[in-house]
Amino acid sequence: MGLEEEIEDIREEISNTPYNKSTEAHIGRLKAKLAELKEKLENQSSAGGGQGYAVEKTGDATVALVGFPSVGKSTLINALTNADSETGEYEFTTLNVNPGMLKYKGANIQILDVPGLIEGAAGGRGGGKEVLSVVRTADLVVFMLSVFEIERYERLQRELYNNKIRLDTSPPNLSINKKGKGGINVTKSDSVDLEEETIKGILREHGFVNAEVTLRGETTIDELVDGIMKNRVYLPSIVAVNKADLIDKDYLPTVEENLREVGLDPDEVTFISAEAEKGLDALKEEIWDALGLIRIYMDKPGRGVDYDEPLVLREGDTIDDAIHELGAKLDERFRFARVSGPSAKHDDQQVGRDHVLADEDVLRIIAQR
Beta-carbon contacts of residue 83 (< 8 Å; ≥ 6 apart): 77, 98, 99, 100, 101, 111, 113
Q: Find the angle CA(91)-CA(96)-CA(97) to the nearest 5 degrees.
A: 110
Task: State pLDDT tens for residues 60-112.
Answer: 999 999 998 888 888 999 999 866 655 444 344 444 677 889 999 999 999 98
Task: State pLDDT tens for residues 261-308.
Answer: 999 999 999 999 999 999 999 999 999 999 999 999 999 888 999 999
- Coil, helix or strand at residue 218: coil
pLDDT at 83: 60
Question: Residue 314 phi/psi, 5° resolution?
Answer: -110, 155
Question: Residue 111 phi/psi, 5° resolution?
Answer: -115, 125
pLDDT at 1: 65
pLDDT at 41: 84
Q: How many CB atoms lie within 10 A of CB 280?
A: 18
Q: Which domains does the chain have, with CATH numbers?
A: 1-48+171-230 (no CATH), 59-166+232-289 (3.40.50.300), 293-365 (3.10.20.30)
Closest of 84, 72, 63 to residue 135, by C-alpha: 63
pLDDT at 129: 64
Beta strands 184-188; 98-104: pairing state: unpaired
- Coil, helix or strand at residue 130: helix
Q: Does residue 286 contact residue 270 with C-beta atoms inside 8 Å?
A: yes
- With 0-12 / 13-18 / 19 or more C-beta atoms within 10 angstroms meaning exposed / middle / buried, residue 6 is middle
**How far apart are alpha carbons 210 and 316 in whole angstroms?**
37
Q: Which residues of the chain have pLDDT under 50?
A: 48, 50-51, 87-95, 119-122, 124-127
pLDDT at 283: 97
pLDDT at 369: 80
pLDDT at 100: 87
